[in-house]
Chains A and B, each alone.
Chain A
């Protein structure tokens, strides 16, 4: 029975996709199209809950749908599994997915083409569920490509503007580079272990691992490349900020909660193999650490509300990858879990703000929304406290555990810990900055305008015109269809942390989450044990530092006449500020080193190779044919009868030759 439920879980979003696609011509409005997607996701969510309770008690559920082909010993089947790892991600995808689908019904009410939006949304949900429930690399890869495709379709949803199309293209291409790594890594694993099934890779053969060390190290590094592509790590993170060109609910779902965690999910799936290779783990850890730091440094100076959240996502993903890199896979997955809730919440609050401000996205133009959008403000605060790591909220538990795991990593633990701590402080800083600038501080134009209004009462029309330009009608709170998911997600981001309490806080219920996950992934081993005292000291110190960082942000942006202090600092640290706000010039670097040479090669091939060489060959063939034709034309007999004679002579020679060959063999 549970097998049937498992098989149905990805089916409902697929049905929603097909239904929405078929009904596009009926021009459904946002409520109808959104209801289809929401209901399907909600039904899948209920099925996931039922099945996961069964899995919690009884162990994994498998269902093999179709045997496709066999290559030697390697079986390529369409095989779904619900094991401990899939439970977590599946709950996240369907739960947060249904909340965001519900939210989007309200957000997209002024849009056309909503049917298409919800169809792509359902397609994304279907692909993500395939990815999560894949029992072997094949189904995972199918889901992987499917989410890449849906990401492309949804980022470039407003494709009439070329910038959006370019952003979608960038996302897809960066993902593709990762896929290259994924496929090659898959092949490496398949060749060594003679299987592509994750159930069999759960308990790998140690002799095989020892025998094929080099090959497995290379394959694991390629899989890490794949994870880096999907989870926006250092070489390939350039697509995630640009992906903010899509509709905000899309960013909330994909680029915060689910799709970008697919890379970490992949690493956890093969965790039992890669723990045996410290080289690979080091690469992963440093990649995560550098990404986290880099992204937070960039986020400090961004002005677009969604870009700040995007870089924050990259940074938090760096945290998760760092956790995987020090061998604490379950901790990384715990951070995935909590991060999903609060990041989705933050993005949806941003969506609510954007909707309320009539699609204004620059935080320096917003302000003072605390009074006008109270529900959004309070839910945003919950999310902010979670991401900053204030005790009591979910982010605290997961982040703290990552920090302690990083510190106790044998070898380079101290460096990783310091990078991670610095990132945590920067995160608190820029999130506070965002909170203050969006909600608390009155906007600059508004204040200046107030002054003007006081002095220049004569120019009423002028004032009204400015009024219209600055106020954009009235900023209002979002409708309840949008605030209900916010409240739900706020509650979850508060409560989700309590699943993974550290030992010192409660002895019986501690680390429930991690224990559950570690039935599948590799156990966290090789770390020294921190005494309870040291752990409490660490927690207190970290919290103090975070509060200081938050206070600093508050001081810079609120207490002093807000922009003066900021402008002072900006002029003092001018070079640093420009490096940070221009995103460390990474995009330009890629443009120069990779994209431009490719274009040059392309132009060269077209202009030189194609026009001269290829066309030359074709022309040569035609010239030879016509020349031989005209040559033969000159030797053609004028008279009919001579032609016949020539035919007869030729035929005789040929037939004589053949005949003689037959006779005188």
Chain B
């Protein structure tokens, strides 16, 4: 019955997606991104298990590394943005639409 994990993975992914759209401050958005990554990783592991290929596990390995880098850079961007604009809410930041 470990096929329930599929639903879990899907749920985590969609919940993370909901969070990225729903949340207003940038850090929460990043948090939900991480949640999405967790769901994806779980899915890939499940696929690895079902097909017997070990390569998918290495894929998850690299995905975790990449997500670590991405979070690091994203957080430093948030800090830089905070220094400039003194806010972390996406409503107040209208750089692109200017």
Question: Which A residues are within 8 Å of any B CB, using their own CB?
Answer: 636, 638-642, 644-645, 648
Nearest CB in chain B: distance from A235 CB, A: 71
Which B residues are CB-close (under 8 A) to A639?
A: 90-91
Does B61 interact with chain A (Cβ within 8 Å)? no
Alpha-carbon separation in the docked complex, A639 to B90 (Å):
8
Query: Which residues of B15-65 are within 8 A (CB) of A?
Result: 17, 20-23
Q: Are the CB atoms of A645 and B21 closer together than 8 Å? A: yes
Alpha-carbon separation in the docked complex, A323 to B17 (Å):
97
Q: Which residue of A lies closest to B20 (CB)?
A: A644
Q: Which residue of B lies closest to A642 (CB)?
A: B21
Alpha-carbon separation in the docked complex, A613 to B39 (Å):
57
13 contacts between A and B (CB under 8 A): A636-B97, A639-B91, A640-B90, A641-B20, A641-B21, A641-B22, A641-B23, A641-B90, A642-B21, A644-B21, A645-B21, A648-B17, A648-B21
Alpha-carbon separation in the docked complex, A639 to B22 (Å):
11
Q: Which residue of A lies closest to B23 (CB)?
A: A641
Alpha-carbon separation in the docked complex, A642 to B96 (Å):
14
Q: Are the CB atoms of A638 and B97 closer together than 8 Å? A: yes
Which B residues are CB-close (under 8 A) to A640?
A: 90
Alpha-carbon separation in the docked complex, A344 to B33 (Å):
94
Q: Which residue of A lies closest to B93 (CB)?
A: A640
Alpha-carbon separation in the docked complex, A644 to B18 (Å):
10
Which A residues are CB-close (under 8 A) to B20?
A: 641, 644
Which B residues are CB-close (under 8 A) to A645?
A: 21
Which B residues are CB-close (under 8 A) to A636?
A: 97
Nearest CB in chain B: distance from A618 CB, A: 30
Question: Which B residues are within 8 Å of any A CB, using their own CB?
Answer: 17, 20-23, 90-91, 97
Which B residues are CB-close (under 8 A) to A642?
A: 21
Q: Which residue of B lies closest to A648 (CB)?
A: B17
Mostly helix, strand, loop or mixed at chain A's interface? helix
Q: Which residue of A lies closest to B22 (CB)?
A: A641
Q: Which residue of A lies closest to B26 (CB)?
A: A640
Q: Which residue of A lies closest to B24 (CB)?
A: A641
Alpha-carbon separation in the docked complex, A648 to B17 (Å):
9
Alpha-carbon separation in the docked complex, A641 to B91 (Å):
10
Alpha-carbon separation in the docked complex, A645 to B22 (Å):
10
Among all A-B residue pairs, the 10 with the closest Cβ atoms: A641-B21, A640-B90, A645-B21, A644-B21, A644-B20, A648-B17, A638-B97, A641-B90, A639-B90, A641-B20
Q: Which residue of A lies closest to B97 (CB)?
A: A638
Which B residues are CB-close (under 8 A) to A644?
A: 20-21
Nearest CB in chain B: distance from A389 CB, A: 95
Alpha-carbon separation in the docked complex, A638 to B90 (Å):
10
Nearest CB in chain B: distance from A643 CB, A: 9
Q: Which residue of B lies closest to A641 (CB)?
A: B21
Nearest CB in chain A: distance from B33 CB, A: 10
Alpha-carbon separation in the docked complex, A641 to B22 (Å):
7
Alpha-carbon separation in the docked complex, A642 to B17 (Å):
12
Which A residues are CB-close (under 8 A) to B17?
A: 648
Nearest CB in chain B: distance from A659 CB, A: 14
Which A residues are CB-close (under 8 A) to B21?
A: 641-642, 644-645, 648
Alpha-carbon separation in the docked complex, A598 to B97 (Å):
55
Which A residues are CB-close (under 8 A) to B90?
A: 639-641
Alpha-carbon separation in the docked complex, A641 to B23 (Å):
8
Nearest CB in chain B: distance from A653 CB, A: 15
Alpha-carbon separation in the docked complex, A636 to B98 (Å):
13
Alpha-carbon separation in the docked complex, A642 to B24 (Å):
12
Alpha-carbon separation in the docked complex, A648 to B22 (Å):
14
Nearest CB in chain B: distance from A632 CB, A: 14
Q: Which residue of B lies closest to A633 (CB)?
A: B97
Alpha-carbon separation in the docked complex, A638 to B97 (Å):
7
Alpha-carbon separation in the docked complex, A641 to B20 (Å):
7
Nearest CB in chain B: distance from A396 CB, A: 97
Nearest CB in chain B: distance from A34 CB, A: 76
Nearest CB in chain A: distance from B35 CB, A: 14
Nearest CB in chain B: distance from A646 CB, A: 10
Alpha-carbon separation in the docked complex, A639 to B24 (Å):
10
Alpha-carbon separation in the docked complex, A648 to B36 (Å):
13
Which B residues are CB-close (under 8 A) to A641?
A: 20-23, 90
Which A residues are CB-close (under 8 A) to B23?
A: 641
Most chain B CB atoms below 10 A, which of A641, A645, A648: A641
Nearest CB in chain A: distance from B24 CB, A: 8
Q: Which residue of B lies closest to A637 (CB)?
A: B97
Alpha-carbon separation in the docked complex, A636 to B21 (Å):
16
- 4 additional contacts (CB under 8 A) given A640-B90, A641-B22, A642-B21: A636-B97, A638-B97, A641-B21, A648-B21
Most chain B CB atoms below 10 A, which of A636, A638, A640: A640
Q: Which residue of A lies closest to B96 (CB)?
A: A640
Nearest CB in chain B: distance from A161 CB, A: 64
Which B residues are CB-close (under 8 A) to A648?
A: 17, 21
Alpha-carbon separation in the docked complex, A636 to B96 (Å):
11
Nearest CB in chain A: distance from B71 CB, A: 17
Nearest CB in chain A: distance from B69 CB, A: 21
Which B residues are CB-close (under 8 A) to A638?
A: 97
Alpha-carbon separation in the docked complex, A638 to B93 (Å):
11
Most chain A CB atoms below 10 A, which of B17, B90, B97: B97
Nearest CB in chain A: distance from B40 CB, A: 14
Alpha-carbon separation in the docked complex, A278 to B71 (Å):
93
Alpha-carbon separation in the docked complex, A645 to B17 (Å):
8
Alpha-carbon separation in the docked complex, A187 to B21 (Å):
74
